[in-house]
Amino acid sequence: KKIWKFDFTTLQPQGISKIMILQRLPFFLLCCSSVTAFQPQGRPCRPKTELNVVETAVNRRMAIQSTIASALSFLLYGEPASAESVKTIVITGANSGIGFEAAKKLAADGHRIVLACRSLEKANSAAERIKDATIAKSSLIPVECNLASLKSIRKFASEIGNMDIDVLCLNAGLSMNTDDKEIKRTEDGFELTVGINHLGHFYLSDLLLPKINKQNGRIVVTASGVHDPESPGGGVGKTASLGNLRGFEEDGPLFEMVDGAAYNGDKAYKDSKLCNVLFTRELQMRLLANDSTKGITANSFSPGLITSTNFFRYQNPVFSKVFGVVATNIARVAETPEWGGLSLAYMATSPDTNTQGEYYISPPGSSKYGEAAFGKEFCVGPVSKEAQDDAKAKKALGIERKTCGPNYIDF
């Protein structure tokens, strides 16, 4: 695999005097000299410290580059990078939209990012663009993870090996054309929207849970306010409702809609977001009930309405363009992809979002406040009435496990 690493040509120090550099030079030289501890002496050897990454060879390069990065950080900015604060973060859908923006932000903050994308080509492309756009303190690890294929998800879980994951961001998603009458399906037969937005992520989280940091790991789910029929967006058109899960229960993988009704593209998206919120709440309860996983938190959030990405690529292009202009420039209720990415990054790493089973949301147009919105406009909010049905959440998770097949978790 091609793994992108540090590119010091992107460092652009400003306001650094010669005196400041000379004052920090001894520390810089000391860190550089310590690099030899990780170099092979005559024959290959294992690093002396145990690093939670994919391969020994990658471990050695990562240790060398991390040491030099810390030294350069201190030399140029007077603040050495803390190895303890570096997190390994998996982001699905990291090649576009808020997933890409979050990956850029988190990479710039010095974290290791696993770019889990529909194809390796898309993942490599994202790595290239992030490498050119950010301070290269982190590792970018492109890996294929096609959420429309359980086989691809299993392969992804296998390929990352014994990597310790600090944060799992279940972010990828799609919305089909609301006018479509013909149902589209995943490789395993699931209705495509619920299959990718929910079932693929559900299965991925099951496979990766043994790799997640048991002390303070996080699972972050990108949901949406449209899961709630009483929200402005959720009340337009067909509203979200899973009914008694008849579609899941009776039709198995070949369901059209979770509630057993005939296919409707608009409702399928809203249902998938309702599934996201129900799943997050039920997952948190199960994590807390097990001594080995009670340190892991699971939370969901809504990034708001974001029209300027390829998320609406399946919609009527004329409608999408007009809707985007109205929502962004006239009604001013749309958010920017950059702010959506900041929201995901905030959920992934902020101490303020280290909560249990909560749902975060903000009023429309909150991106105008930038990061100042976090903890104020963007905060814990109520979920829909149906999303509070714990019995339905428990039942749904049981059916979903049967639908997706064997997994590694036994709560």
Q: What is the distance between the alpha carbons of residues 93 and 276, in angstroms, rounded to a whole number?
A: 16
The amino acid at residue 40 is P
- Output the six-digit token pair for 212: 């997640």
For residue 68, what are its two tokens?
A: 């030099």
Q: What is the maximal distance between C-alpha atoms in the chain? A: 74
| Distance of alpha carbon 58 from alpha carbon 73, whole angstroms | 22
Cβ proximity of 315 and 326 under 8 Å: no
Token pair recorded at residue 353:
């979002």
Helix, strand, coil shares, percent, the chain, to 5 = 50, 10, 40
Amino acid in the structure at residue 242: L
Tell me the angle at which helices 265-288 and 390-404 cross, rounded to the nearest 10 degrees: 100
Q: Which amino acid is at 145?
A: C
Q: Which residues are catalytic?
A: 269
Helix (H) or strand (E) holding 124: helix 120-133
CA dist 167 and 89 (Å) reads: 5
Please, how many CA atoms are within 13 Å of residue 370, restricted to the half-sphere of its CB?
Answer: 1
Alpha carbons 94 and 288: distance in angstroms, whole number: 29
Task: Determine which helix (DSSP H) or strand (DSSP E) holds 192, and give its type and residue range.
Answer: helix 192-194
Q: Which residues pair with 165 in a beta bridge?
A: 212
SS3 category, 266:
helix
Element (H, E) at 141: strand 140-144
* Degrees, nearest 5: CA angle 244-246-248: 115
Q: Is the torsion defined by CA of 94, 216, 291, 360 positive or negative? A: negative
Q: Residues 315, 347: contact at Cβ < 8 Å?
A: no
